[in-house]
Structure formats: C-alpha cells, structure tokens
Amino acid sequence: MPLALLALAISAFGIGTTEFVMMGLLPNVADDLGTSVPTAGYLVSAYAIGVVIGAPLLTALGSRIPRKRMLVLLMGLFTVGNLASALAPSFGTLLAGRLLAGLPHGAFFGVGAVVAARLVREGRQARAVATMFLGLTVANIVGVPTATLLGQQLGWRATFLVVAAIGLVAMAALARLVPHVPLDAKGGLRREFSAMRDRQVVLALVTAVFGFAGVFAVYSYLASMMTKVTGLAETSVPVVLALFGVGMTLGALAAGPLTDRALRPTLYGALGAMAATLVAFQFTVHVQWAAMITVVVLGAVGFMITTPLQMLVMNKARHAPTLASASNHSAFNLANAGGAWLGGVAIAAGWGWTSPMLVGAVLALIGLAVAILAGLLDRGPSAPESASRVVARSELGEWVEQQPERVG
C-alpha cells in the first residue's frame, strides 16, 4: 500500500476524533457555557447536519478542482472549524463552529475514497479504501478516549485545539504524500449529477440509511445500557466504547479483502450478521463478559458494511464517482440521526433500555432487503461480482494502468 494512504488515514483519524468526542464532553461544555446537557446535545446534531449539507455541496463546488488540492482545502476547512470551536465565546458560535467542522467530512471521504482506489493495482481497491477508513476506527480506540480525558482535565477547548493541530499535520501529509490525480476530462458537475440518478446508486444510499441506522439505534444509548442493564460502573464506559472501536477496526480490516473478492455477498453477510448480533444482544447484555464480547462483534459487523457500500456507489457511478461517493457519507449521517431518534422513541415509549436492539435489528433487516432487491435488479451479463473488476474497467483502472510507477 502506498504512503499516500497514510495521509488519508491521518486525516480520517482527525475527522473521527472530532465527530465522536463531543458525546463525552457534553457535560463539560454545558457547565462552561451555562446551558443544559440536552441543549448541548444539539452540538452533535450540528456536526451531522454539516456533513449532510456539505457532502454534496462541497463536492459539487469542487468538481473541477484537482483532487489532491481539493483534499488539502477540505482539511483546511476542517481545521478552521475546529479552531473556531476552540475559540467560541458562546454556545451559538460553538454551534456554528461544529457545523463548519462537519461540512468537509463527507466530501473528504468521498474524494479520498476515489483517490485511494486510484493509488493501487487491480484487486486491491477495496483494501485501499478500507485502509483510509482505519483512521476513523482507530480514532474511536485512541483519539476519542484520549481527547475526552484531555477535555476533562484541561477544558473542552483544549480538545478542539489539539484536533485543529491534527488537521494541520494531515494537510502537510496530504500535500507531501498524495500524488497528483488527474480529473476525468469528460467529467464535470452535470455528469456527477447524472450518475446520481442511477437506480443502483439510489438503492445503495437507501441501504446505507437503513442498514447503518441499525448500528446507531444501539450505539447512541450503549453507555446507558451497559450501566443500567449490564451493571457496569460509569468508569467502565470508556472501556466499552474503546471495545466498540476495536470491533470497528477488525471489521474494516476484514471488509477490504472480502469486498475485493465478493462485494455483494460481503454486504449481505454484514447486514445479516448485524441483525443477528442485535437480537443476541438482548440476551447477552445481562452478562458482563458476554456483553463485552457482543459489543466488539457489533462494532465489527456494523463497520463491515461501510466498505462494500462505498465501493458499490463508486462502481455504479464509475464514470463520475465523486459526488456519489460523498453522498454515501450523507446517507451514513442520516442513519446516525435516524437510528438515534428511533432508539430514543422506543425508550421513551417505555419499552425498556434494551428495546433499541430490536429496533436496530429491524432496521438492519430492512437494509438487507433493499440490498438484496438491488442485487436482483442488477443481475445481467455486465453485473460486477467484485469491487475490483468494475473499478478496473472504469477510468479508475485505466489511470492505474497508465501510472505503473505510482502504484507499486
């Protein structure tokens, strides 16, 4: 794997840290700015809204900007957003800073996934994309717990100053390590939007919304489940979250080669395994050691759906994949918000702290049904059986063949 993937992974590490660290800092922010914890929770929503808006908007605006420069500019905007958050004098300005920091999230991963796939030979495209996503998963093991502890000890502003510093390091790494990746001469904004109308792209985005919502229906309330149902002490919550991050990392490592070998079967298996794991969690949550193991498995199968979905939208929009790739992350963040909301509705209805598990299982099964429907509709002589075969036939593969010295 080329060193350029390290630059993408460092960037993903910073993005993952700032996305999830706010959940652990809400009490500190609320106390410092004189607001309630539920009100401070809007800071989480502001970031997600930024992702949903920014992914298609910034990708469209940057459709003719060289991809290396686009990646650096997006990380620059990310850095400015985190710096603005660190220096925010009021809750309103912090809300704006979080929105600003979220804007480049989806566009960066969308452009980054296309670049990552172009950096490697045929048969390794999904592994390259998964390597970039490893930065996101490692953030949940190392970045988020460390940044949360830093914020608790030195104040929440220190956390965002450190994340801004990570953004500067990522910009330098991108500028130094990522090679020039030429734009498609026939590309452009109109072609990008045309690719979004492909039925398979739309079905993949719908799969992402429902399938990933199953994970966040549970993850959003995991801390409360583990303390109120499993009986763990509150001091054990960071360990539980780190275990979930370990599972995410294992899932990302497995998803790359599996997706390169068989894209749709990997997606079907991950969604089915997620539904089964959530049903099993109803029983294992009452036993501490079993609950811990289930958390790791849930993180693994949950994150295993990201790489095949990312490759699927890139394959189906292969002549203009950037906007579709970025929109996939808008879909993931809609899933985050929708899953958390539906899990909260179940709890508020008096169904108990374990009810989000069944809600998540149903959402995962809906996602699986949509994925299977898409697979059935896609059958035909030109239907791809693996991620790499389609990429190799596309302009991505053509570029790789023309640039052998860069893909060793």
Amino acid 195: pLDDT: 67
For residue 317, what pLDDT band results from cuts at 50, 70 and 90? confident
**Residue 403 pLDDT more than 70?**
no
pLDDT tens-place string over residues 173-221: 999 998 887 776 555 566 667 767 788 889 999 999 999 899 988 887 8
Q: With left for phi above 0 and alpha for psi between -120 and 50, is residue 34 left, alpha or beta? A: left
**Residue 381 pLDDT more than 60?**
no
Amino acid 397: pLDDT: 44
What mean pLDDT is predicted for residues 344-353? 86
Amino acid 42: pLDDT: 79
Percent of the chain with pLDDT over 70: 88
What mean pLDDT is predicted for residues 122-128? 80
Amino acid 137: pLDDT: 82
User: Taking CA 286 as the corner, what is the angle to CA 280 and CA 288, rounded to the nearest 5 degrees?
Assistant: 100
pLDDT tens-place string over residues 5-20: 899 999 999 998 998 7
The dihedral over CA atoms of 102, 104, 110, 112, expressed in degrees to the nearest 10, equals -120
Comparing 191 with 88, which gets the higher pLDDT?
A: 88
Mean pLDDT of the chain: 84
Q: What are the structure tokens assigned to 385, written together?
A: 């059986």
Q: Residue 47 belongs to a domain with what CATH number?
A: 1.20.1250.20
Q: How many CA atoms lie within 13 A of 175 on its CB side?
A: 11
Comparing 48 with 17, which gets the higher pLDDT?
A: 17
**Lowest mean pLDDT: which of 322-331, 354-363, 369-378?**
322-331
pLDDT tens-place string over residues 136-181: 888 878 888 788 788 888 889 999 999 999 999 999 999 999 888 7
Quickly tell me which residue has 């660290």 as its tokens: 21
**What is the rounded distance in angstroms from the CA atom of residue 195 to the CA atom of residue 395?**
14
Listing DSSP states for 82-129 in one string gives HHHHHH-SSHHHHHHHHHHHHHHHHHHHHHHHHHHHHTS-TT-HHHHH
For residue 290, what pLDDT band results from cuts at 50, 70 and 90? very high
| Residue numbers of the domain that contains 128 | 4-178+187-406
Amino acid 386: pLDDT: 45
Amino acid 187: pLDDT: 56
Non-local CB neighbours of 332 within 8 Å, separated by 6+ positions: 208, 212, 306
**CB neighbours (10 Å) of residue 200?**
18
For the chain, the domain total comes to 1
What mean pLDDT is predicted for residues 323-351? 83
- C-alpha to C-alpha distances, 252 to 141, 213, 244, nearest whole angstrom: 13, 18, 12
For residue 320, what pLDDT band results from cuts at 50, 70 and 90? low
DSSP 352: -
